[in-house]
Amino acid sequence: MTATDQGPDQATDQTTIQVVPVDRPGAFHGHDLLGEGLIWSDRQQALFWVDIIGQRINRLDLDSGIVAEWDVPDMIGWVLEREGGPGFIAGLRSGFATITLDPFSCVPIGAPEPDLPRNRMNDAMVCPQGCIWAGTMNMDGETPTGNFYRLDHDLSWTRVDSGYRIANGPVLSADGQWLYHTDSALGRVYRFAFHGNGTLGPREVFLDFPDAWGSPDGMTIDSDGGLWIAQWGAGSVSRFLADGTRTHCVALPASQITNLAFAGPSRDRLFVSSAADGVDEPAGGALFEIVGSGFRGCPTPRFGG
């Protein structure tokens, strides 16, 4: 379907919403070349995200406001917390890896695409069953060699879909019925029926973005069932209902908006990442907080392995 607005007032009303750039005290880098992969850690009471091109993991401690950084020896698309072990599972250009931060270690798990050396990991999520769902893309963002994988607790992986140019933003609906996934290069958001046993229904087109809305990038879900989508090239994030109606649109002072996540003990703080690569913008690559959205996020599962 083509996305529709509830109406101009509903889609653009920001009278109670503010966008605040997040200061990054303690960090050497004030901006990200390509910020991505925002996740909230209840265990650490911290927000994590990565700089894909800068090959870096960032952590914002919400109590102190301090940002810590760790350099990674490869391009990194995401980190996701583990339930059954320390640290994280990470998606690198070279494949899946385990990462711990203090002390830092990065140990390869395996490369799902040894025959596609121009591909890299780009975005991922953990489902309530504790599996990771992760997409890949070609470095040029044009060649449709990207795939979609499920990583199971035993660290084995299965390819579940293919043919993506820029695989992005997997997220599960609040009721667990649908898995949403995008191809940013096509401006398209897909959905799959999510069966909970590691299988998906057929791929369906959920939304086609009009050109004025930029490209759909990272996504998150609020507890009321709203789907929030970062809009690369359009400097905004929007919220959609299950029928594709857009209810909110929040403008940000950077054009390349990449991802978003609810954070905090009550998951009522909404953070947004962006990219500086390829643009000359004062706020490009900054981390932002959207204050006063009135919504809360869903719990963040941890990988079961």
What residue spans define the domains of the chain?
A: 4-291
pLDDT tens string, the chain, 305 residues long: the values are 445 554 333 444 455 789 999 999 999 999 999 999 999 999 999 999 999 999 999 999 999 999 999 999 999 999 999 998 889 999 999 999 999 999 999 999 999 999 999 999 999 999 999 999 999 999 999 999 999 999 999 999 999 999 999 999 999 999 999 999 999 999 999 999 999 888 999 999 999 999 999 999 999 999 999 999 999 999 999 999 999 999 999 999 999 999 999 999 999 999 999 999 999 999 999 999 999 999 999 999 999 99
Residue 8, classified by CB atoms within 10 Å of its CB into exposed (0-12), middle (13-18) or buried (19+), is: exposed
Residue located via tokens 């898995």: 179
The pLDDT value given to residue 84 = 82
Q: Could you give the CA distance from residue 76 to residue 91 in angstroms, rounded to a whole number?
A: 6
The pLDDT value given to residue 12 = 42
Using DSSP bridges, classify how beta strands 178-183 and 67-71 pair: parallel, antiparallel or unpaired: unpaired
Q: Could you give the CA distance from residue 54 to residue 101 in angstroms, rounded to a whole number?
A: 17
Write a three-state SS string for 177-245: CEEEEEEHHHCEEEEEEECCCCCECCCEEEEECCHHHCEEEEEEEECCCCEEEEEECCCEEEEECCCCE
Per CATH, the homologous superfamily of domain 4-291 is: TolB, C-terminal domain (2.120.10.30)
Residue located via tokens 């991505």: 36
pTM: 0.95
Residues in contact with 35: Cβ distance below 8 Å, sequence separation at least 6, in sequence order: 49, 50, 51, 58, 258, 259, 273, 274, 275, 285, 287
